Amino acid sequence: MTSTRTQRFGAIALAAAAALAFTPAQAGEVEVLHWWTSGGEAKAAAALKITLQKGGHRWKDFAVAGGGGDSAMTVLKSRVVSGNAPSAAQIKGPSIQEWAQEGVLANIDDVAKAEKWDELLPKVVSDIMKYKGSYVAAPVNVHRVNWLWANPEAFKKAGAKLPTSWDEFFVAAEALKKAGIVPIAHGGQNWQDFTTFESVALGVGGAEFYKKALVQLDGATITGPTMTKVLETFKKVKGYTDKNAPGRDWNLATAMVIKGEAGMQLMGDWAKGEFVAAGKTPGTDFVCVAAPGTAKAFTFNVDSFAMFKLKDAANIAAQKDLAKEIMAPAFQELFNLYKGSIPVRLNMKMDKFDDCAKASAKDFVDTAKAGTLVPSIAHGMAVPSAVEGAIKDTVSQFWNDDKMSVADAQGKLAAAARTK
Ligand code: BGC
């Protein structure tokens, strides 16, 4: 990070801390489960910690490394089963309902009512935070998943043009390859495979197809001709990844683009958090464009903290303060500047944000109106966790097994979609 930017963020952090300082009736401890361990993510997590501590409470970090959060969710299950749930856990989408059905989540309606969350949140978000009409989780941001990140130097070297369609993508990929640059930085983990897959599905098939096939899980659409094209395109992308992709963490893939070893990465805007943490400037050192063919659509991924039922009165008070503060404007700004995402709270000033975030904020509103705002499957926003796991595994099997035919993959996907 450049020193000016460090100073700027430092100043923002201090201003936010001052604005947030308050004296709680009772100081308590909040144990927070998250998986924000990469460079940009850690800075965002620190903003959350500072916010809580300024309120006089104690932060107990429960970080479980692993992009996409699969490992964190496994650890969470064993902690809850053994009767030792954390105060707050990064849980998203329909999983919030699944946890609430287990009877382990706390009702935070008192905070939500006092802070007017119903008025401050887009309905698509507040619906996800509620179980049977009551808030059980607090949202922190909106990530856009359908981004393509590119290194302009690498593109210049290759004489390539930023792609807006999948045809153009493969032309650019060929040119990068010829210039000795890895065309697409990828990490072969099933959530990353699916992050790529859902952008291909949206770009090739459009928002209606995406919703029908991957949200409503319509069998005929999954086995139909558009999905054939999607899977063919997806497999073609693999041909432009490098041999070390299997198992690579997403932030190491981003580092390849930062260094110019790779030309592009298909990833949500937490990748921007990495570029920024590395001192890179959007628009100059790196660029963001919508994933090919998806400029008029938006795959959303909302990070949120579900609150678990607690017994200790001071810890309950601290938990409620956390819920309150993460929706406050100061936190929404500070956190999202580091995280790469945009504030989830409506009508926030965006003047401190870069052009990628400003585009994201505008597109979030525009696509909601146009009906092309779609939930991310890869990031747990769309379907029950069992279905999500099954379709992710199928897509990764297809990605990894060069002998699996497209027709075979379609049949397996349709079966995975029927998972109960
Ligand atoms: C989360 C992001 C996180 C990313 C990589 C996503 O599922 O929503 O907050 O940065 O995974 O770990």
Pocket test for ligand 1, best of 265, 336, 379 (most atoms within 8 A of CB): 379
Closest CA to ligand 1's atom 11 = 68
257 to 206, 290, 316, 365: CA distances (angstroms): 27, 16, 43, 29
Question: Mean pLDDT, consecutive 10-residue segments, the chain of 420 residues?
Answer: 47 51 75 97 97 95 96 96 96 97 98 98 98 98 98 98 98 98 98 98 98 98 98 98 98 98 98 98 97 98 98 97 97 98 96 98 98 98 97 98 98 96
What are the residue ranges spanned by the domains of the chain?
3-143+301-363, 147-299+378-417
Q: Say yes or no: do domains 3-143+301-363 and 147-299+378-417 share a fold.
A: yes
CATH of domain 3-143+301-363: 3.40.190.10
Q: What does the alpha-carbon distance between residue 315 and residue 321 come to, in Å, rounded to a whole number?
A: 10
CATH code of domain 147-299+378-417: 3.40.190.10
C-alpha–C-alpha distance, residues 285 and 275, integer Å: 9
pLDDT, residue 420, reads 86
Distance in angstroms (rounded) separating the CA atoms of residues 227 and 230: 5
Contact between residue 305 and residue 344 where contact means Cβ atoms under 8 Å apart: no
**For a substitution probing ligand 1, which of 191, 301, 305 has the most ligand atoms within 8 Å of its CB?**
301
Consecutive H or E run containing 40: helix 39-54
Q: Which of 143, 145, 274, 381 to mutate to test the pocket of ligand 1 (most atoms within 8 A of CB)?
A: 143
Token pair 């197809």 is found at 209
* Nearest protein Cα to ligand 1, atom 1: 68
* Share above pLDDT 90 across residues of the chain, in percent, rounded to a whole number: 93
Question: How much is the pLDDT for 47?
Answer: 96
178-203: per-residue pLDDT in tens?
999 999 999 999 999 999 999 999 99
Q: Which residue's CA is minimally distant from atom 8 of ligand 1?
A: 303
Query: What is this structure's pTM?
Result: 0.94
Q: Of 256, 132, 121, nearest to 186 (Cα)?
A: 256
